[in-house]
């Protein structure tokens, strides 16, 4: 999946992100688009918008499940890494409760790999 397709898919689900995903700094970079989506997802968690957070995680899980190796790599290095939802116990609980299982497995693997 290329950057235009990724931006289109994310913008279809989250129209409020469309302009931000298509800035010159992001329009040609899937990792930068996914980092932007991670910040958006993080903001939903911080605001306590659980239905919106679940929707973000559902869309993220769908993208991860596409089977595209380069997209999966970008997900690990950008979206999951940039979520920053391990900063409080409450955010950690939201992750465990709201993330679909495949996305949570990838998130947990990333965080285990970062432990000393």
What 8-state DSSP symbol labels residue 25?
T
Query: Distance of CA 21 to CAs 89, 91, 95, Å?
Result: 30, 25, 24
Judge whether 64 lies within some domain.
yes
Judge whether 20 lies within some domain.
no
Judge whether 70 lies within some domain.
yes
Judge whether 24 lies within some domain.
no
Judge whether 57 lies within some domain.
yes
Number of folded domains in the chain? 1
Whole-structure pTM over 0.85, yes or no? yes
Residue 114: predicted pLDDT: 60
Under the banding of pLDDT at 50, 70 and 90, the label for residue 19 is very high
Give the domain range for residue 94: 30-114
Judge whether 23 lies within some domain.
no
pLDDT, one tens digit per residue, over 62-92 is: 998 886 888 888 888 899 989 988 777 887 8
């Amino acid at each position: 999946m290329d950057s235009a397709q990724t931006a289109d898919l994310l913008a279809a689900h989250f129209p409020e992100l469309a302009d931000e995903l298509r800035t010159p700094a992001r329009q040609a970079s899937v990792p930068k688009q996914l980092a932007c989506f991670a910040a958006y997802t993080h903001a939903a968690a911080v605001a306590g918008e659980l239905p919106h957070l679940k929707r973000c995680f559902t869309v993220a899980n769908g993208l991860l499940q596409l089977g595209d190796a380069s997209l999966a790599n970008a997900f690990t290095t950008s979206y999951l890494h940039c979520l920053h939802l391990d900063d409080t116990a409450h955010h950690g609980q939201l992750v465990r409760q709201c993330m679909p299982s495949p996305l949570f497995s990838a998130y947990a693997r990333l965080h285990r790999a970062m432990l000393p």
